[in-house]
């Protein structure tokens, strides 16, 4: 379960047994949501925020933070997904300390 980022207590991660489409989970305390990064014909289309089965979703404030980070770091998340799931390269975590 590689952790990609931490942003003021909000954790961004992949689960190691994941599937397509490219997506990332956001956790804050016991709450969790996920964001799918959707491409069509090789071009970015949209970010879809979804609930995680069996988990209470992130609250409104953390959902806003979650979306902002994903929008800002989308290309990096896609690169890390490919590195981890295609090339089996270990991912190092980054702590984001600057407010976005």
Tens digit of pLDDT for each residue in 15-54? 988 788 999 999 999 999 999 999 999 999 999 999 999 9
Q: Is residue 76 part of a domain?
A: yes
Whole-number pLDDT of residue 83: 95
Q: Is residue 10 part of a domain?
A: no
Return the residue matching tokens 């289309």.
Answer: 45
Q: Indicate whether 1 pLDDT > 90.
A: no
Contact 31, 55 (CB under 8 A): yes
Contact 50, 58 (CB under 8 A): no
Q: Indicate whether 81 pLDDT > 90.
A: yes
Q: Indicate whether 73 pLDDT > 90.
A: yes
The residue range of the domain holding 67 is 63-89
Catalogue the long-range contacts made by 92-99 (C-beta closer than 8 Å, 24 or more residues apart). Answer: 93/2, 93/3, 93/4, 93/5, 93/6, 94/4, 94/5, 94/6, 95/5, 95/6, 95/7, 96/5, 96/6, 96/7, 96/8, 96/69, 99/8
Number of domains in the chain: 1
Whole-number pLDDT of residue 10: 98
Count of all residues that appear for the chain in the document: 100
Query: Phi, psi at residue 12, to the nearest 5°?
Result: -115, 125
**In the chain, pLDDT over 90 holds for what percent of residues?**
93
Model pTM score:
0.94
Q: Is residue 81 part of a domain?
A: yes
Q: Is residue 85 part of a domain?
A: yes
Cis peptide before 21 (omega within 30 of 0): yes
Q: Is residue 79 part of a domain?
A: yes
């Amino acid at each position: 379960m590689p952790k990609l980022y931490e942003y003021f207590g909000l954790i961004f991660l992949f689960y190691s047994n994941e599937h397509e489409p490219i997506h990332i989970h956001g956790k804050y305390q016991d709450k969790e949501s996920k964001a799918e990064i959707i491409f069509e014909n090789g071009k970015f289309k949209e970010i879809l925020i979804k609930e995680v089965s069996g988990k209470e979703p992130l609250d409104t404030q953390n959902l806003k933070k979650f979306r902002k980070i994903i929008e800002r770091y989308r290309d990096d998340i896609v690169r890390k997904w490919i590195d981890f799931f295609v090339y089996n390269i270990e991912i190092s975590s980054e702590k984001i300390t600057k407010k976005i």
